[in-house]
């Protein structure tokens, strides 16, 4: 029987919660294409208020600028689905929230919005620790809009777990 994506996320969040509680630190999220699904997955867990306080859903460039301080030049030079954008989103989320760890995501969930350079399923993820260099990675997910978002959530929570386990 295949493991459902939901079960995978629940299990990852449980492991993340244990590590964050052990360390006494918090996480924050800055979401574009996942639109709140990472924050929702984290807070589905009872007791998550101990390690999660701030989540930013910045679905437009204006919101990324206003809430997270992403500079206009980044959109002009790199676009919103780019390493520069997710790193700026992460930086803003960590600064505003004061959390120790964070994750930021921006991608093309589809079915519209794809281009030859950034087809549907292209998702940039950045994750890291406050006052440290961020990690970033570009994924090319397959499937429909829901599946692309779900895979982005799984990667985001996995990335946070990787940070917290160190």
Residue 36 makes contact with a second copy by CB under 8 A: yes
How many angstroms from the chain centroid is the CA of residue 161?
12
Q: How far is the CB of 133 from a second copy (least distance, A)?
A: 26
* Residue closer to a second copy, measured from CB, 7 or 62: 62
Question: Distance of CA 15 to CAs 43, 160, 161, 164, Å?
Answer: 14, 10, 7, 10
d(CA 108, CA 87): 17
Site string for a second copy, 40-79 (x = CB under 8 A): x-xxx-xxxx--xxxxxxxxx-xx--xx------------
Name beta bridge partners: 102. 28, 128
Question: How many residues contact a second copy, by CB under 8 A?
Answer: 39
* Residue closer to a second copy, measured from CB, 18 or 66: 66
How is residue 34 written in tokens? 């996942």
Residue 37 makes contact with a second copy by CB under 8 A: yes
Sheet containing 27-31, strands listed edge to edge, beginning at the edge strand earlier in sequence? 27-31, 101-107, 122-129, 135-140
Q: How far is the CB of 45 from a second copy (least distance, A)?
A: 9
Site string for a second copy, 132-151 (x = CB under 8 A): -------------xx--x--
Residue 106 makes contact with a second copy by CB under 8 A: no
SS3 (DSSP) at 7: helix
For residues 61 and 78, the answer to whether their CB atoms sit within 8 Å is no
Residue 111 makes contact with a second copy by CB under 8 A: yes
d(CA 89, CA 127): 10
* Residue closer to a second copy, measured from CB, 13 or 133: 13
Could you list the residues that contact a second copy (CB under 8 A)? 29, 31, 33-40, 42-44, 46-49, 52-60, 62-63, 66-67, 96-97, 109-112, 145-146, 149
């Amino acid at each position: 029987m295949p493991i459902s994506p939901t079960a995978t996320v629940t299990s990852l969040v449980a492991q993340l919660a244990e590590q964050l509680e052990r360390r006494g630190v918090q996480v924050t999220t800055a979401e574009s294409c996942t639109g709140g699904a990472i924050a929702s997955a984290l807070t589905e867990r009872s007791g998550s208020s101990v390690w999660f306080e701030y989540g930013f859903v910045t679905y437009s460039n204006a919101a990324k600028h206003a809430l997270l301080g992403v500079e206009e030049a980044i959109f002009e030079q790199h676009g919103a689905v780019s390493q520069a954008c997710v790193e700026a989103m992460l930086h803003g989320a960590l600064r505003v929230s004061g959390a120790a760890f964070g994750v930021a995501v921006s991608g093309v969930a589809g079915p519209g919005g794809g281009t030859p350079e950034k087809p549907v399923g292209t998702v940039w993820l950045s994750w890291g620790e406050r006052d440290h260099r961020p990690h970033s990675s570009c994924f090319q997910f397959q499937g429909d809009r829901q599946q692309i978002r779900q895979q982005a959530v799984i990667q985001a929570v996995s990335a946070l777990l990787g940070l917290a386990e160190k």
